[in-house]
A = this chain, B = another copy of it.
Amino acid sequence: MSFSPLIRQLVEALRGLPGVGQKTAQRMALHLLERDRSGGLRLSEALSRAMQHVGYCQQCRTLSEDPVCALCADPRRDDQLLCVVQSPVDVFAVEQTGFRGRYFVLKGHLSPLDGLGPEAIGIPELLARIGEGGFAEVILATNPTVEGEATAHYIAQTLADRDIVISRIAHGVPLGGELELVDGGTLAHALAGRKPISLR
């Protein structure tokens, strides 16, 4: 014996969310059923609309319900700068730094062992976008992981013969925290990438 079929199906569907196990899913289902039915219906609506209508921006390939997303459609942004990231959530993160150039979103990183080559992550589309022109610099902002580095390196090589500055986001110690807690690799990068302090 357990919950009734509709509740069981709801718990099962909630378990599809990342990080949600059986107990959490039960708590969510009962919370919505006992205390927040309108919130549950709102979530159902939002899910169904987003799953059906959100596609990818034709220019930057981020998630968007419009053919061209708001960022790409904005005429006030810097058309000379292109920032390449590996997921839509990274656009959000870079955007919060005050960056005001253009974006291109890859579908993850290169992973030959999983069969993810340049075509699978959208490198041809990136080259086409760069070919359309006007960029003076392409900033590679893939994740600072082994795969992200390899992906950035591959793109840099592919673009080597074009007359464009290719840059990679800086590695170094993050703000806040203590030096002794920073891993050796990061600290080595921070030392190698040191900059003279200009006092005027």
Among A61-93, those with CB < 8 Å from B are 63-66, 69-71, 74, 87-89, 92
Q: By the criterion CB–CB under 8 Å, are A16 and B43 in contact?
A: yes
Residue A198 at the B interface, CB < 8 A?
Answer: no
> Given the known A-B contacts A46-B9, A48-B44, are A30 and B63 also in contact in the complex, defined by CB atoms under 8 Å?
yes
CB pair A51 B34 closer than 8 Å: no
Known: A6-B54, A92-B3. A13 touches B30 (CB 8 A): no
Contact (Cβ within 8 A) A16 B3: no
Interface centre among A6, A17, A53 (most CB of B within 10 A): A17
Query: Which of B16, B28, B69 contacts A39, CB < 8 Å?
Result: B16
Number of copies: 2
Contact B13 A54 (CB under 8 A): no
B40 touches A47 (CB 8 A): yes
**Main secondary structure on chain A at its contact with chain B?**
helix
Residues of B within 8 A of A177 (CB): none
Asked whether, in the complex, the Cβ of B5 is within 8 Å of the Cβ of A65, the reply is yes
Min Cβ gap A6→B in Å is 5
Question: When A17-B28, A63-B4, A63-B7 are in contact, do A47 and B51 touch as well, CB less than 8 Å?
Answer: no
**A13 contacts across to B, CB distance below 8 A:** 39, 42-43, 45-47
Query: Quick check: B41 and A9 within 8 Å, CB to CB?
Result: no
Q: Are B48 and A6 in touch, CB under 8 angstroms?
A: no
Q: Are A1 and B88 CB-contacts (below 8 A) given A6-B50, A13-B42?
A: no
Contact check, B47 vs A4: say whether CB atoms are below 8 A apart: no
User: Which residues from B are CB-within-8-Å of A30?
Assistant: 63, 87-89
Q: How far is the CA of A18 from the CA of B88 in the complex (A)?
A: 25
B residues less than 8 Å from A41 (CB atoms): 47-48, 51-52
Residues of chain A having any CB pair with chain B under 8 Å: 1-7, 9-10, 12-14, 16-19, 24, 26-34, 36-37, 39-54, 63-66, 69-71, 74, 87-89, 92, 95
